[in-house]
Every structure is written in C-alpha cells, then in structure tokens.
Structure 1
Amino acid sequence: MVKNDILIESKIKRVIEDEAFSGTIHMKRDEEDAILMAAGYANRAEELMNKVDTRFGIASGCKLFTAVAIGQLVEEDVISFESRLTDCLDIEFPNFTPNVTVHHLLTHSAGIPDYFDEAEMDDFEDLWKQQPMYLLRDLKDFLPMFQDKNMMFNPGEKFHYNNAGFILLGLIIEQKTQLRFIDYVKRNIFKRCKMYDSGYFSLDQLPENTASGYIDEEDGTWRTNTYSIPIIGGADGGAYVSGPDMNRFWEGLLSNKLLKEPTKDRLLKPHIQVKQDVYYGYGIWINKRAEEIFKYHVMGYDPGVSFHSAVYPNSGISLTIPSNKSNGPFKIMKFLEDELIIK
C-alpha cells in the first residue's frame, strides 16, 4: 500500500464507518495498486456486498468520455472545436443564437437553456413528474425538454454548468459517425482502455456485479433510484464503471491511447475559471494550488449515485471512488488527499 500502511488503512476504515460509505476505493500510485477497498451492499435486499470490481453508476462523471469522443472527431477532421452547432447538427433550435460552438458546449459556456438547471432546481427527481424517465432511451428524447427555450446568456460570456450542452455534443457524435453514442464510446474509448466492466446499461437490464443506487429517507427507510434517473445513460451522464476501469481510463488518456498529445493537451487546458483555483477544461475539472495544477478530476451526483475520480500529475496517483449512495466519496477523497497526496 504506502508508508504506514496499517495506520492509514485503519484511518480509512474509520472514515468509511463515519460516512456509512457504500462503494469502492481504488488508488494507483505509479501504475501499481495502492488501495483496493470495498464497503456496503451492492444489493441491500439480497445483502450482496460491493466488491472491488463492482460496477457503479457515475452520473456526470462520464462527461469526459463525451469530450474525448469529440476530440477524436476533431483529429479526424470531421469537425473542429470552433465548429458552430448549426453546422454540425441537422436539428432546428429556433431560439438559439447562431454562434454557439463546440468549444462553448464543452466548457459549459454556450448559454443555451438546460433541461435540468442545477442552479435553479434542487431535486433531479422533479423532472420526471412531467417527463417519464423510462421514455428517455435515446439522446433525441431529451430535445423536447430544452429545444425551443430561449438562450440564458451570450455564448462565451461565463461558465454555467449545463447538461443539455453535452446532450448536443452526443448528438453531433451520432450524426457524424452514424453510430449510437453509447456504441461509439464502447468501441473507441472503453475497448481501447480495456475497460471491460464498463458500459451504458438500462436500469431494467443491469448486468451482474452492478450496484443498485439507493436513496435513504429521513425516516430510516430506503428505496432504489430506479424511478429517479433516466432509464439509460448518455452523453451527459449515466455510464456504469468499476473503480479499476476508471483508473484504466486515466492511464489511457494520459498515455495518448485515446487522443494525440496536442488534442489531449487542449482537453486538459484550463479554458475557463469557475472560482478561485478551480477551472474547467473540456469535460473535466482542474484544480490548482500555488499556481500549479494539483489535480484533474471528474465528479457525478444523482439520486442514489455519488462519484469522484482524479489524477494528481505531481504524485503519480490516480484515485477513483464510486458509491451507490448519494454521498460519501467527497469526504473520503479529501481525507486521502490530506493524508497521502498534499505535501
């Protein structure tokens, strides 16, 4: 593991107990496994425990897959990062300004309306009162939820987290490749990185060794998130991965298996400042300390889902913490950063 293995492991277990954590922790240092831990139930009704290679939903944690796929199309000269949305999609958006570009969509700065505005809505489940979640099987099924709405601000004016922008990026991928988005990602990202446990699975057809998401109620009862999220994930979120698979993705991205170096560097560039020391690249968060990049990371939150995964370029560490509860990974990641990574 690392220096003072027993002490660190004991402390981690204490944090896991304090958080009632349900999920896995997978940390690699210099390509060697450093921490492999699992806690909680993948299936509470059957009392099936989570395992190190259990698959978890990762919500928005997979926006980075979409950004990588776009980068691959750029490398093939199918589109450019400066391409306008109107030139990439044969879909009408009557109230969008014509100068929205792929770059704007990738950096959450397009100003287009969102189908779920996290700055305005508190509960993701409220969406499904008007739009049944079981009907959202394809990216185009999301269009009626935002297609005819008005712009929120001018493109490039500011950062405003936007799920609909990544739906549009996925639709661009589908139109340009004539492949379903989830099939493109499986073929061109998961397969290249040997992410054999990962996929976009329908909630009514989850494969074995996949954790169900759980929502804990205030009265002590619980329920699964089956009716709380779209039935199948897509370009804005909802893939299922294991901890080891996600760290294989980081290795593949950083070693140029997925993108050539200039494209990778553009993806990892801090394009837009979100707040002090926090930036956004293409589908990826970037944190700085003392003017240097401390970590590249992704995160995802849905009802019954929480996920954090990061690489720390100065430490040779990749760390992935998925959970089938609505919280837990953030505090564990912060603990590990404080104990093992921050010098």
Structure 2
Amino acid sequence: MNDMDIGIKMKMLQEETNFSGVYCANKGGCEFSGSFGFANRSGRIKNETKTKFGIASGCKIFTSIAICQLVEQGLLSFQSKLHECLDLEFPLISGEVNIHQLLTHTSGVPDYFDEEEMDDYEELWKDMPVYAIRTLSDFLPLFQDKDMVEQPGGAFYYNNAGYILLGLIVEKVSGLMFTDYVEKNIFKKAGMEASGYFEMDKLPENTAIGYIEESDGSYRTNVFSVPAKGGADGGAFVTAEDMVTFWYALFQYQLLSKEMTEKLLKPQIEVDEDLFYSYGGYVDMEQNKVKKHILMGYDPGVNFRSVYYPEKSISIVVCSNESDGAFEVLKDLERLLI
C-alpha cells in the first residue's frame, strides 16, 4: 500500500472520528505521514507533520534509557537501593526498594497519581498550584510521606512516582537537571532536533496546544491541567518524525550498547496474558517471541501511542493534542502496514 492509499484511509478515519493530531510511520525505509486538526484553535493554526506534541507517559522510556546509560558507565546498578542513591527523607518507604523495581513498576512505593484509584488527573491541582510544578523535587510533597502500597518486588502496579524517583537519581548521579540530561544524552544523540521539555507557559513555536472537550462540545486548553513542566514520568514534547528517528537510533545502538539495549527491552514482568513490561515500556508477546514494543501516554489534552515491530523494523507514531483518538488511528495504521 502506498502513501496515497494510506492518506485516503486516514482521511476517511479522521472524518469519522474528528481526530486532531499527526501520524508518522516507517516501513522498509518508506515514510508515511499525515496531519489533521488544529494546533491552535483560536488562531486557526493547523497541525503539521513537524508540529511538536506532548506525549505524557510516552516518554518514560527516556528515563529508563538515562538510567541504563548510567549503569553502563558503572555509576549505578539495577540492584542499587533507593536510599543508597538519594539523600532525601522517605520515612515510610521500604529500604529494600531498588532501581529494577522502580523501572518495572514493582517497587510498591506510593504514587502521587494512582491510576487505579483516580481517573481525573486534574484533581491533583485543586490544592497545589499546577504552575508551581516545574522540577522533579516539586512532586515530592505529593507522595514523600505516604505509606507503601505494596511490598517491594511484588506485582506490577503502574506507578508515576517511581519514575519521579528515577529522575531524581539521574540528577544526583549525573549532576545535571533531569530534562537537561535527556536533551543532551538522548535527544541530541538520537537526532531528535525538535524535541524537548518545554514549559506550558513558554511553549516554542510550532507546538500544539492541548485541548479538553467539555460536555457541551466546546473546548478549553490544558494549561491548568498538567504540570507547568514535565519530567521523568512524562511531559516531553516531540514531533512524530522525531519519535520515528528515536526508534531507529535505539535499534541502531546509538543510545546504548547492543547488550544494554537488549536489557532495556527484555520483558521483565507479566502485566496480562501475552503482555509484559520491560525497562522500556510494554511488550506484546506472541508464541514466546516479541511481537511489538508499545509506548503510550495520556494526560488531559494529550494522547500518544507508538509501536515498534522489531522483526519487521516498522515504527508507527501517533500524537494527538486532544484527550483521545490516537489509539484508533494507530490500530488502523497497524492494519494497513503490518
């Protein structure tokens, strides 16, 4: 199927779903891309293939790669304990929590946003001003003094605070702000020239504003719904093209050695039947073999999905500046390309 055929199919889907965002896919060296909707509704500025989008938790893999880079340098190990890495006070967190557990969501540490208990991320900012959340340390009051939710090394329990802790470890060991570390050691090395961690009140040009649909069909922006600046658990801005570039760089061992890349992507903990979590996101298995790697992200006004099929070297990226729609576009692209 050629780019025109895919474009026609995607246009039909967009008309059915009113999708706002961008897709980009790479198959056999051929790139397919398209854009729909508005990056800025009030200014009637359209989304383009080079528009930057927030990807929420889709960027947890950057945190994992940063940790793996430091392990490769001998500055950490996956068995390093949290209390050995940080000199912060965590009075109720077990001394047995280690980096492996934080990476695989099996640490049992308290989360600041428990996705099994809460379904509205905006609730977090009723008592704490969202504009004040600009560094990783700003998140600490939300979970630092809470009880453990599980014993370390237990079952998979998706945890955003665990990745905040991993980001703080990156800062402590590297001597750099987490966002500076990722931009220097991952984005720059991978050739992700347009990507970065931007402040919501200082977004650069060609960046999509996130929109939340109201019950009456109107829209409002997400400027008061997500942290002023993202970090280790989510919140980077990328272009869809940059994420295709990222997958290529990762599997060409430009970010980690071959051995460490395999360690990053190895299925570690079972989440559901044939679905596992690695250090680098979800892994869909088929007959005991890796079928695809999966990244996903959701915030109010942000929806992101990406997959990589290692045996076929196919990458697909879908970014949306609304709260949903990316999954449906991704599934259609998979049906067309795989």
Instruction: Compute the TM-score of the two structures, normalised by the length of structure 1.
Output: 0.97
Q: Distance in 1 between matches of 2:181 and 2:2?
A: 44
Task: Report 1:231-250 matches (<5 A).
Answer: 231-250=228-247
Tell me what 2:333 maps to: 336
Give, in whole Å, the separation in 2 of the partners of 1:172 and 1:4: 46
Which residue does 1:151 correspond to in 2? 148
Q: Quote the Cα distance in structure 2 between the aligned partners of 1:71 and 1:145.
A: 27
Post-superposition Cα deviations, 1:32-72, rounded to whole Å, max 9, x if no partner, equal: 31x11000000000000000010000000000000000000
CA distance in 2, matches of 1:6, 1:198: 28
| One of 53, 60, 63 as aligned partner of 1:63 | 60
C-alpha distance in 2 between matches for 1:58 and 1:71: 21
Q: Distance in 1 between matches of 2:319 and 2:311?
A: 23
1:95 to 83, 92, 106: 92
* 1:27-106 correspondence to structure 2 within 5 Å: 27-33=25-31, 35-106=32-103
Shift of 1:6: 4.2
Post-superposition shift, 1:31?
Answer: 3.2
Write the distance in 2 (CA, Å) between the matches of 1:200 and 1:163. Answer: 17
- SS at 2:87 equivalent: coil
- 1:5 deviation in Å? 4.9
- Count of aligned positions: 338
Is 2:51–2:206's contact at 8 Å kept on the other side of the alignment?
A: yes
2:176 maps to 179
Could you say which residue in structure 2 is the equivalent of 1:227?
224
Secondary structure, aligned partner of 1:205: coil
Q: TM-score, structure 2 length as denominator?
A: 0.98
- Matched with 1:278 is 275
Q: Distance in 2 between matches of 1:166 and 1:259?
A: 20
With over 3 angstroms needed to count, the CA separation of the structure-2 counterparts of 1:5 and 1:241, relative to structure 1, is closer
How far apart are 1:287 and its partner, in Å? 0.6
Q: 2:27, 2:337 within 8 Å by CA — same for their partners in 1?
A: no
Distance 1:8 1:311 in 2: 18
For 1:287, the equivalent position in structure 2 comes to 284
User: 2: distance between equivalents of 1:36 and 1:143?
Assistant: 39
In structure 1, C-alpha distance between the alignment counterparts of 2:242 and 2:335, rounded to whole Å: 24
Deviation at 1:221, TM superposition (A): 1.1
Relative to structure 1, the CA distance from residue 95 to residue 217 in structure 2 (aligned partners, 3 Å threshold; closer, same or farther) is same
Distance 1:197 1:6, change over 3 A: closer
One-letter amino acid of the structure 1 residue matched with residue 23 of structure 2: I
CA–CA separation in structure 1 for the residues paired with 2:6 and 2:132 = 46
**Contact persistence 2:210–2:221 (CA under 8 A):** yes
Give every structure 1 segment of 4 or more consecutive aligned residues whose post-TM-superposition deviation is greater than 6 Å. Answer: none
Check whether the contact 2:58–2:234 (CA below 8 A) recurs between aligned residues: yes
- 1:120 corresponds to 2:117: yes
TM-superposed CA distance for 1:8, in Å, is 3.5
CA deviation after TM superposition for structure 1 residue 297, in Å = 1.5
Give the Cα separation in 2 of the matches to 1:295 and 1:18.
27
Structure 1: gaps of 5 or more residues: none
**Structure 1 position 281, deviation (Å):** 0.3
Deviation (angstroms), 1:4: 5.5
Task: Please give the alpha-carbon distance, in whole angstroms, between the structure 2 residues aligned to 1:82 and 1:306.
Answer: 33
**What CA RMSD, in Å, does the superposition of the two structures yield over aligned residues?**
1.0
Partner of 2:212: 215
Give me the whole-angstrom Cα distance separating, in 1, the residues matched to 2:69 and 2:6: 40
**What is the aligned partner in structure 2 of residue 110 from structure 1?**
107
The reply to whether residue 254 of structure 1 matches residue 236 of structure 2 is no
Provide Cα deviations, 1:1-30, integer angstroms capped at 9, x if missing partner: xx2554433222111111111110100113
2:184 matched to 1:190? no
Alpha-carbon offset, residue 182 of structure 1: 0.4
After superposition, the C-alpha distances for 1:319-338 in whole angstroms (9 at most, x for unaligned) are 11000001111011111212
